[in-house]
Amino acid sequence: MGKIVFVIGGARSGKSKFAMELAKKEAKEVVYIATTLAQDEEMKLRIKKHIKSRPKDWKTIEEPLDLPRAIRNIKGKGKVVLIDCITLYISNVLLKGYSEKKKPREINRLNDWILEEAGKMVSAINASPHIFIIVSNEVGMSIVPENRLARLFRDIHGETNQIISRNAESVYMVVAGIPTKIK
């Protein structure tokens, strides 16, 4: 059965760095699942910086839209799988299915589908023999967003974080580079 270590925090909080340190301590063989889409020059530079910060012997899988499948396809035993990050994964999946023209009922179906995908991801992890370190942002500690898409993103993200944390063996909150174990 897979084990989940969940690392959450705000933007630029040090959560990815902490997750990488955990991965280095856990095992020799690390699989890094990157969920980022390189949509502009700034994001391409961020991706290059992240790649340079990773050890060269880590295997990288780029999967912006189907984490359950990517997880099921990892073969072998005893690996550490670092997923960075759930925030961008949710954003990618949400934007693929979202339209301002959609009616509330359709938006509710999209919401439910994304949460089902989060459940499938956890099921795939539970069926695997690996340790998973999952990175995510905490986006619900601010004001209520003013537009529908931003509110939907915040709500789905918060519910997804809850699904992951319920199934995690341990949860760390990282603030200003300082990790605190909260579960």
Pick the more confident residue, 28 or 58. Answer: 58
> What are the start-end ranges of the H helices in 38-103?
41-53, 67-72, 86-97
pLDDT tens sequence across 123-140: 999 999 999 999 999 998
Residue 175: exposure state from Cβ atoms within 10 A (0-12, 13-18, ≥19) = middle
In three-state secondary structure terms, 110 is: helix
Looking only at the bridges linking them, the beta strands covering 131-137 and 170-175 are unpaired
What is the pLDDT, as a whole number, of residue 73? 96
Average pLDDT over residues 6-15: 96
Counting Cα atoms < 13 Å in the Cβ hemisphere of 49 gives 8
Catalytic residue numbers read 50
Residue 39 in this model has a pLDDT that exceeds 80 = no
CA distances from 70 to 31, 40, 60 (A): 11, 24, 11
User: Which structure tokens are listed for 166?
Assistant: 């319920």
Average pLDDT over the chain reads 92
Residue 90 in this model has a pLDDT that exceeds 90 = yes
What is the pLDDT, as a whole number, of residue 54? 78
Which candidate, 20, 131, 13, 114, places its Cα nearest to that of 71?
131
Looking only at the bridges linking them, the beta strands covering 170-175 and 178-181 are antiparallel
Q: Which DSSP string do the residues of 45-62 spell out, in sequence order?
A: HHHHHHHHHS-TTSEEEE
Residue 180: exposure state from Cβ atoms within 10 A (0-12, 13-18, ≥19) = exposed
Average pLDDT over residues 10-36: 92
Residue 49 in this model has a pLDDT that exceeds 80 = no
CB 138 within 8 A of CB 90: no
Structural domains of the chain, ranges and CATH numbers in brackets: 3-181 (3.40.50.300)
Residue 100 in this model has a pLDDT that exceeds 90 = no
